[in-house]
Chains A and B, each alone.
Chain A
Amino acid sequence: MDTREIDTRNYTALLKKYIETQDEQALYGAEQISKSFIKKNILPEEFVNLHIQALLEIYPDLHDKIKPSMHFLLEAMISYGLAHQEFQNLREKQLAIKSEILVAARMQKMLLQSKIPETDELDIGVISVPANQMNGDYHHFVKGKDGTISITIADVIGKGIPAALSMSMIKYAMDSFPENIMTTDTVLASINRVVERNVDPSMFITMFYAQYKPDTGKLYYSSAGHEPGFYYSSRLQKFKDIESKGLVLGVNPDASYVQDELNLEKGDIIILLTDGVTECRRDNQFIDRTEVIDVIKKYIHLPSQEAVNHVYRHFERLQNFQLRDDFTLIMIKKQV
């Protein structure tokens, strides 16, 4: 006897019991059976049919008018059955899409992972956390043959999958540039042309690109409309904005950029971020940039990686662990 047959028997017994005693237990039993039927994908009209069979077994001499009424009900249930089947199909499809996105997110993570270069000169820490499955923030480090360390941080506007796809474009375009012989402004001008040709008109990318040259201790940088980072001077014990003018990528193919430079001394710190950090809200009020500095100050004595982890946790708590935007924070300390 298969399980369905057992259910049928149970149902008949429960129905009989309920008709005779109106016992609540029987109702509970009916609920259990219906749950098990749903799991087995048994359609509503089959359920009605089961009811008819059970009724006929209990009352073989069922009133003539009742029988056709039951068949009438059975027909009426067929549309519900179709709706139920459609719901099942959608649920399966949804699961498939969900797992596809998960695969894509994992692939994106692998594709975009950037190892912090090993260097005695700089202590680098980075944290990047997506608000949804796919990250619209991008960061990348490269150490060149001559020891130059290049640092990229970017924010793709437009969230989710389209943003994630454009990120791969940035990565491949950046990888194709000849190593470190280009100045930071020409790198941005080149990547801007690639982006402009390839994005939707309402999409754009902000990017900050820097090269640290260990032989001179200088940091060269350019910005394409990116949220300004902070420079901490250990000598003055002061923070200031790293201002650099430049149009966001993807708006004008002929945009040009400027290269600025900073002389880094021992103990100086560079902080780069995306607007997910400065756009944190607390009780619907935005925090301002001085508040971001105050939080960074609290952890600045720690090694860079620990410091950025702490800062992230602070803002995560502040927003009740619900990120509204992707969050990326890079801290670079000059060690020697």
Chain B
Amino acid sequence: MNLQIQIDEKNNESFVHLSGEIDVYTASELKEALLPLTMKKGHLLEINLENVSYMDSTGLGIFINALKSAKEHASNLKLVNLQDRVHRLFQITGLNEVMDINTTIRGVDG
């Protein structure tokens, strides 16, 4: 399965919409798309995972990398609309405590 990466950049914000699976085969493509966006000071990078049905630990590694890079470059990283299975991965690994994650699915809670 593939991963589709759609990026809308506005001023100092980027909205990334992902759909598909994030795994060992699609991770490097995602890394190349995300990392440059984390390197702009003060930039907000919001990643919508609503249509990501599966993510493995390699995918998790990409988000850890993005988080470290955001910290280093003083930009902000935010994950929104995670499916249960994906969210569980962030919970088990304790990453939900150190990352800005909003699981509210749009349309459910408005």
Contacts and interface: CB of A to CB of B under 8 A. Distances in A.
Contacts of A247: 93-95, 97-98
Interface stretch (A18-26, A88-96, A145-153, A199-207): A199-207
Interface residues of B, number: 21
B73 interface: no
Interface size class of A (residues with CB under 8 A): 20 to 34
The dominant DSSP class at the B interface is helix
A225 interface: yes
A77 interface: no
Interface stretch (B5-13, B40-48, B56-64, B100-108): B56-64
A251 B92 contact: no
Contacts of A158: 58, 61
B95 A225 contact: yes
Contacts of A245: 94, 97
Interface string A209-234: 00000000000000011111000000
Contacts of A268: none
A286 B85 CA distance: 10
Contacts of B24: 159
B33 to A, nearest CB: 14
Contacts of B49: none
Which 7 A-B pairs rank lowest in CB-CB distance, beginning with the nearest? A225-B93, A247-B94, A202-B65, A202-B61, A157-B57, A201-B65, A248-B93
9 contacts: A204-B61, A204-B93, A245-B94, A246-B94, A247-B94, A251-B64, A251-B67, A279-B56, A325-B56
